Structure 1
């Protein structure tokens, strides 16, 4: 393969430095800038990567040469071969698009691409000349290694985000993989649990139980994430979530936890109506909220770690949730959290919690 002397700086950058670019969006933009500096007429470009994610099938970034602007688009449709963004149909008279695959090249009149292959697409202010097309193909071949590295990092991050949550995943990636590595943080804690789920699971087929669990987790986790919280654990039919305190004031985190709980309660009410129409039993649940300090980090065996939150505050919120059934309330709030919010709450008195030395002042949200 004869290398283009005009692209020497771009090809050197792709070999020596492109793999260290922090993300696919920056790789696209910086590659585009290098190609323009080397004399190629580009108006914009696109990069598409497959993503290992429960909701997102692929991510595409669009780069505009004139402004440097980058726009991201997400592909949610499952299955089917990937189609390179911007691939021009065969009867397109402009013939200005060239779409390249990391391990080869796809001409602009082709629409089928090996599933999962990273694709690069470039558009110019005019049709590319044969020489320019060959140079773009050459750049695509040299981009294969850095694209693979960036794609692998994105896949790892997406997997950790899905299993750990964004905040926890970021902490895992930035810290040593050793026990006792973490930090003590202040957070509003949410612990939620389905009631009577053991009896339900013994009387219903597994597929129905899994469907019910997924629907429950969708409502509670969706509400937590909508108000900037993070789900730390799914334990059986239970959920542990945190709303970290920021800027030293717990009020925002406490209000967010309360609003997320209200949203989850509304979502579950709608779900129960749907289940009733289908002849299925309702899914009663309990939620407890508390505010306290937790150790947020790695615990576990020497070679098998878990990233979670532990501490007396976690113990208290789980014990507090256990009072939901005897007090016949869906939501219980500790006095510590109640003192940090101006949202309306109803006092339920002081109660002893199993395994907790001091009695706890307990509040609940108004019904409706």
Structure 2
């Protein structure tokens, strides 16, 4: 073969498809590589099979998820409707009798990766859902399971990670030998395409969950070199729960994590809804940022301040709920600062942390530690007050104070009685 220059992906096919079946497989591989949304992938897969005279009447895929709220994503396509129904199965959902009587539970529990049941009138069907399918006019059904290899070795089979697929037709006599031959090649390729698409989606979800939205975008774009950092101007929010040690000594060990989650959720939610980023939870504390933009400096400062005020309100509301139940509670101290920090990767060669470092980070943590001495649950730096010009009506000067490890005394502000009343009333400004 002589020298060539190829500029398009289509021209790069040295082995062009010779048959409609090969064109179908080419499309399926390209769809997986391009990251086609799963609902569209399933619908187009079934429609293209129809063009090859493989008449799918109903198709279902259930993909196990690595997600903080969702345990599985399920998609169901019906030819009669021409659309895909998407369902999220939550970790909190309790499986019903239908699940335990389903062919999928049987397959997972018995390490069965393929199950075929003709749905003819005289068939002796062993699963109630297949009787329903037969009554709907379906004539044949089979299921195929794919293990993605993501499972922990001690995980129960019914909780394994991977893909469950099922396929049904209303063709008289059911699937033909040709149908099975084509589906036997196409369905595993579909599973591979789904794994490729899902792997990136799950990586994005896991990163957003553990390192935040902005940081996850940097990591997924390849910005993971040790020592790589950007200088950014940002509002820093440092919050710490007061009384966690006492509370953890007095409640059952099994309740500690649940209680801490209750408080941290009320702290994090206002920040995230306002566009801030939670960089890390530090036991019973939290560090968050609001990156500054020169043309929106006052608005960002105000947004950060209001979200911190709402955070205090949410904690006070939670404390009232707990006290009404006779439960112990914790108070929250918050510090708000602004400054230039380095945002990037620090750590060892094998374990990195994407975080912010710099004098402003040290200062905001020292500010929070003064809350008790000042009799305040919210302290704000003079630097923040000068840049949050539209918020001066709700700030109250507290004078200059020495911060441990900081050379010059720092001018600090608290919330005025007007803002304090709003917190007590559990309302946001």
Q: Which of 6, 20, 31 is residue 6 of structure 1 equivalent to?
A: 20
1:21–1:27 contact (8 Å) kept in structure 2:
no
Indicate how the Cα distance of structure 1 residues 10 and 319 shifts in structure 2: closer, same or farther if over 3 A, else same: same
Indicate the SS of the match to 2:219: helix
2:400–2:412 contact (8 Å) kept in structure 1:
yes
What residue is the counterpart of 1:130 in the other structure? 175
Let me know the Cα RMSD of the aligned residues: 3.8
What residue is the counterpart of 1:360 in the other structure? 411
Pair 1:118-2:168 in alignment: no
What residue is the counterpart of 1:265 in the other structure? 312
For the residues of structure 2 that align with 1:345 and 1:65, how far apart are their CA atoms? Answer: 61
1:286 is displaced (CA, Å) by: 0.3
Indicate how the Cα distance of structure 1 residues 136 and 322 shifts in structure 2: closer, same or farther if over 3 A, else same: same
What residue is the counterpart of 2:34 in the other structure? 21
What residue is the counterpart of 2:291 in the other structure? 244
Indicate the SS of the match to 2:296: coil
1:103 is displaced (CA, Å) by: 3.7
Q: Deviations over 1:316-357 (max 9, x none)?
A: 221221222122222222233333252442222332222233
Max radius of gyration: which structure? Answer: 2
What residue is the counterpart of 2:7 in the other structure? none
The worse-fitting range, judged by mean Cα deviation, of 336-345 and 323-332 is 336-345
Pair 1:340-2:391 in alignment: no
1:200 is displaced (CA, Å) by: 3.4
Indicate how the Cα distance of structure 1 residues 114 and 215 shifts in structure 2: closer, same or farther if over 3 A, else same: closer
Q: Which of 130, 133, 154 is residue 90 of structure 1 equivalent to?
A: 133
What residue is the counterpart of 1:110 in the other structure? none
For the residues of structure 1 that align with 2:277 and 2:141, how far apart are their CA atoms? Answer: 42
Equivalent pairs, count: 353
1:53 is displaced (CA, Å) by: 1.8
Q: Which of 372, 375, 379 is residue 325 of structure 1 equivalent to?
A: 372
1:306 is displaced (CA, Å) by: 0.9
* Structure-to-structure mapping, 1:1-368, within 5 angstroms: 6-14=20-28, 16-22=29-35, 24-25=37-38, 27-28=41-42, 31=45, 35=49, 47-60=61-74, 73-78=87-92, 80=95, 89-95=132-138, 101=144, 103=146, 116-120=161-165, 130=175, 134=180, 135-136=182-183, 138-245=185-292, 248-338=295-385, 339-340=387-388, 342-343=390-391, 344-352=393-401, 353-358=403-408, 359-364=410-415, 366-367=419-420, 368=422
For the residues of structure 1 that align with 2:202 and 2:265, how far apart are their CA atoms? Answer: 23
Q: Deviations over 1:186-241 (max 9, x none)?
A: 32221100113333334444334333312111110122222222211111211001
Indicate how the Cα distance of structure 1 residues 186 and 67 shifts in structure 2: closer, same or farther if over 3 A, else same: farther
For the residues of structure 2 that align with 1:70 and 1:34, how far apart are their CA atoms? Answer: 15
| TM-score scaled by length of structure 1 | 0.79
For the residues of structure 2 that align with 1:232 and 1:12, how far apart are their CA atoms? Answer: 43
* Structure 2 segments unaligned to the other structure (5+ residues): 1-17, 105-128, 148-157, 423-429
1:231–1:239 contact (8 Å) kept in structure 2:
yes
Indicate the SS of the match to 2:218: helix
What residue is the counterpart of 1:109 in the other structure? none
More helix by share: 2
* Structure 1 segments unaligned to the other structure (5+ residues): 105-112
For the residues of structure 2 that align with 1:148 and 1:167, how far apart are their CA atoms? Answer: 25
1:146 is displaced (CA, Å) by: 2.1
1:151 is displaced (CA, Å) by: 2.9
Indicate how the Cα distance of structure 1 residues 225 and 130 shifts in structure 2: closer, same or farther if over 3 A, else same: same
Indicate the SS of the match to 2:133: coil
Indicate how the Cα distance of structure 1 residues 294 and 120 shifts in structure 2: closer, same or farther if over 3 A, else same: farther
The worse-fitting range, judged by mean Cα deviation, of 205-214 and 217-226 is 205-214
1:192–1:286 contact (8 Å) kept in structure 2:
yes
2:379–2:412 contact (8 Å) kept in structure 1:
no
